[in-house]
Structure 1
Amino acid sequence: MKKLFFVAVIIGVLVMVFVCPWNVVKAEANDPEASNNKKYFTSYVVEKGDTLWDIAQEYMTEEYDTAHVYIKEVMESNHLESTGIIEGQMLILPYYADKPIR
């Protein structure tokens, strides 16, 4: 009985040694925070006919899950209470990149 317990413990340790490190590496590879991208902001002057959806399609980077998440951040950054924007209005737009655009 003791021999069986000892074998089970050894097998458990070997499984932990060989399986756990692979899970850690996989998690790190998929971690968006591990990328070299930094968050930047740029200004944008609203043109006639622009919508926040159109702006999101042009400026949203892959770090954002959806356009809705990006638009919400744009609204918060610009203290907007609704999605309505007007021609000539200046907006601050967030984006992720290795270095700033411009």
Structure 2
Amino acid sequence: MKQTYRNERRAAGRFHRRFFVTLFISAVMICMIGYFNKSQVSAYEPTDDQTICYKSILIEPGDSLWSIAKTYMPEECDSINTYIDSLRELNNLDSDELQANEHLMIYYID
């Protein structure tokens, strides 16, 4: 009777160790995929006769990424959300909050 109980406990222990090792390896793999899969947002690729130009604009009180994108987004750009994503990346923004009287880099097609 005691031998059966010990064998069951050992089997349960092996199962839990395998489970947690598998869980740990899966978590590490997911983190690695996220880290190495960073891709840059490209809202638009210019043709040979077009140039992407950059300029700094002064953020006015009440400005948002959405309002700035509506004003400056090139017609050739896929969508306003893609343009906003590219502005976030261009300016290294972690959030959508903008501070008045600071500058924001934007791009346009010339």
Q: Same fold (TM over 0.5)?
A: yes
Match of 2:100 among 83, 87, 90: 87
Instruction: State the partner residue of 1:38.
Output: 51
Cα RMSD of the aligned pairs, angstroms, is 1.4
Give runs of ≥4 in structure 1 deviating > 4 Å. none
Task: Give the secondary structure class of the aligned counterpart of 2:61.
Answer: coil
The one-letter amino acid paired with 2:74 is T
Q: Does residue 56 of the first structure (1) align with residue 69 of the second (2)? A: yes
May I ask how many residue pairs the two structures share in their alignment?
A: 66
Match of 1:78 among 60, 83, 91: 91
Report deviation, 1:62: 1.5
CA distance in 2, matches of 1:47, 1:33: 29
Higher-Rg member (1/2): 2
CA distance in 1, matches of 2:46, 2:105: 22
The one-letter amino acid paired with 1:36 is D
Shift in alpha-carbon separation, 1:57–1:35, aligned structure 2, 3 A: farther
Q: What are the ranges of 5 or more consecutive residues in structure 2 without an aligned counterpart? A: 1-44
TM-score if structure 1 supplies the norm length? 0.60
Shift in alpha-carbon separation, 1:33–1:43, aligned structure 2, 3 A: closer
CA distance in 2, matches of 1:96, 1:42: 11
CA distance in 2, matches of 1:74, 1:48: 18
